[in-house]
Amino acid sequence: MTGSQANDVLVSFRGVQKTYDGENLIVKDLNLDIRKGEFLTLLGPSGSGKTTSLMMLAGFETPTAGEILLGGRSLNRLPPHKRDIGMVFQNYALFPHMTVAENLAFPLSVRGMSRTDCTERVKKALSMVQLDSFRNRYPGQLSGGQQQRVALARALVFEPQLVLMDEPLGALDKQLREHMQMEIKHLHQRLGVTVVYVTHDQGEALTMSDRVAVFHQGEIQQIADPRTLYEQPSNTFVANFIGENNRICGRLASRDGDRCTITLPRGEQIEALAVNVGQVGDPVTLSIRPERVRLNGHSEACSNRFSGRVAEFIYLGDHVRIRMEVCGKDDFYVKQPVAELDPSLSVGDLIPLGWQVEHSRALDPLQLD
Ligand SMILES: Nc1ncnc2c1ncn2[C@@H]1O[C@H](COP(=O)(O)OP(=O)(O)OP(=O)(O)O)[C@@H](O)[C@H]1O
Ligand SMILES: [Mg+2]
């Protein structure tokens, strides 16, 4: 790492491991640099170790091995309240017997701030989340979204360099959640604070983050910006976890640089990008996004061309998902904007379809666990 890159790093996990029972590693060997000012999301299925990783950073759990650095300093022996980290959780745990303003003043008074400075900061934090007129209400007199905003303001009021959020929007309904996603994202852009965010909702992760780290069984599978993660998944787990994905299993027939040919059980051959494959003869999972498949005449220029039978239409307002039988699979999905759908297409039709080499990615064989 060069000097200038090192200066951009706020948090480093170095070889961090965690076990609760002395046997199972919940976090296996976490090496992660979090950049100053970025919005980084830890995304993964339930039990993959996201909260555990966040709790070690916050100081509520201790790593079994390895170390965590904040601004180049080891955190291993630093208690939570000395870490200068703000936190927001799903059950926002505002103090019910304190007003909104008192809740916000709390983290300042425990840090020994004077009354005048305190009042000023609370005022600023309240206006940041647009709750100026709610300062004298009690949490019980606020809606879920308003309470979550107070929790957010309370995590930011002492102007920490780092804010951790663990599923902060999990308890809100869909509409409010989407609204708060944008609000938090804009707040992050305005303040320039570093945010580490945990969710198991991929839409939320893609919407809000500069980078997303995909967790599975205590390991980071891939870390990248949302677009790269979706367009260039580096393994089958990530391809399946983010977005919709057609999986086709076959074997590696040949390889030529970054391209390869895959043979399917029935003998069809598919040209693909050799992203994560073994030796010739090894099993491979192909990943093809439903929106990359072209139908009928639109498939003529495609390097992979097959025929498929239309099995079902699923209408979703702005687009249609078409379930098709392709290459021996009966759950091959094609996604088309409604405006581009050929109205004469019907269930039972046998039509040509295809996709380009760069839209089929040859990845590791699927492991069902
Ligand atoms: N205090 C604890 N004692 C023992 N085991 C724990 C403890 N906390 C978590 N675990 C176990 O560690 C694993 C990872 O838990 P963790 O809470 O980090 O997952 P997560 O990715 O945050 O999941 P979720 O999306 O459900 O919140 C789980 O199998 C969980 O049961
Ligand atoms: Mg969790």
Backbone angles phi, psi at 114, to 5 degrees: -70, 160
pLDDT at position 179, please? 86
**Minimum CA distance residue for ligand 1 atom 30:** 47
CA of 52 to the centre of ligand 1 (A): 6
**Other residues' Cβ atoms within 10 Å of the Cβ of residue 82:** 10
**Minimum CA distance residue for ligand 1 atom 29:** 47
Q: What whole-number percentage of the chain has pLDDT above 70? A: 97
**Does residue 18 line the site of ligand 1, with CB under 6 A?**
no
Atom of ligand 1 nearest to the CA of 21: 4
Looking at the DSSP bridge assignments, the partners of residue 86 are 163
Rounded distance between C-alpha atoms, residue 94 and residue 152, angstroms: 10
Nearest to 190 by CA among 118, 130, 145, 139: 130
250, 286 Cβ separation under 8 angstroms: yes
**Does residue 20 line the site of ligand 1, with CB under 6 A?**
yes
pLDDT, tens digit, 9 for 90 and up, residues 277-332: 999 999 999 999 999 999 999 999 999 999 999 999 999 999 999 999 999 899 99
CA of 51 to the centre of ligand 1 (A): 7
pLDDT at position 24, please? 93
Q: What is the 3-state secondary structure (H, E, C) of 44-69?
A: CCCCCCHHHHHHHHHCCCCCCEEEEE
**Does residue 44 line the site of ligand 1, with CB under 6 A?**
yes
Average pLDDT of the chain?
92
The two tokens of residue 224 are: 């990248």
CA of 98 to the centre of ligand 2 (A): 28
Question: 263 to each of 56, 105, 254, 271, 368, how far by Cα in Å?
Answer: 46, 65, 9, 9, 21
pLDDT at position 16, please? 97
**Does residue 52 line the site of ligand 1, with CB under 6 A?**
yes
**Minimum CA distance residue for ligand 1 atom 31:** 47
**Minimum CA distance residue for ligand 1 atom 5:** 20
pLDDT at position 277, please? 96
pLDDT, tens digit, 9 for 90 and up, residues 54-86: 999 999 999 999 999 999 999 988 888 888 899
CA of 229 to the centre of ligand 1 (A): 25
Atom of ligand 1 nearest to the CA of 51: 22
Output DSSP code: residue 265. T
pTM: 0.90
**Minimum CA distance residue for ligand 1 atom 7:** 20
144, 176 Cβ separation under 8 angstroms: yes
pLDDT at position 1, please? 44
Instruction: Determine the average pLDDT of the residues in 118-134.
Output: 90
pLDDT, tens digit, 9 for 90 and up, residues 151-210: 988 988 888 899 999 998 887 788 888 888 998 999 899 889 999 999 999 999 999 999
Pairing relationship of beta strands 360-363 and 269-274 according to DSSP bridges: parallel
Helix (H) or strand (E) holding 272: strand 269-274
Atom of ligand 1 nearest to the CA of 20: 4
Q: DSSP string covering 14-26, please?
A: EEEEEESSSSSEE
**Does residue 200 line the site of ligand 1, with CB under 6 A?**
yes
Nearest to 355 by CA among 287, 291, 293: 293
**Minimum CA distance residue for ligand 1 atom 3:** 20
Ligand nearest to the CA of 47: 1
**Does residue 51 line the site of ligand 1, with CB under 6 A?**
yes
pLDDT at position 80, please? 87
Atom of ligand 1 nearest to the CA of 55: 18
**Minimum CA distance residue for ligand 1 atom 19:** 47
Banded pLDDT at 3 (limits 50, 70, 90)? very low
CA of 46 to the centre of ligand 1 (A): 8
Helices (H), the chain: 3-8, 50-58, 100-109, 115-128, 144-156, 174-191, 202-208, 226-231, 236-241
**Does residue 46 line the site of ligand 1, with CB under 6 A?**
yes
pLDDT at position 253, please? 98
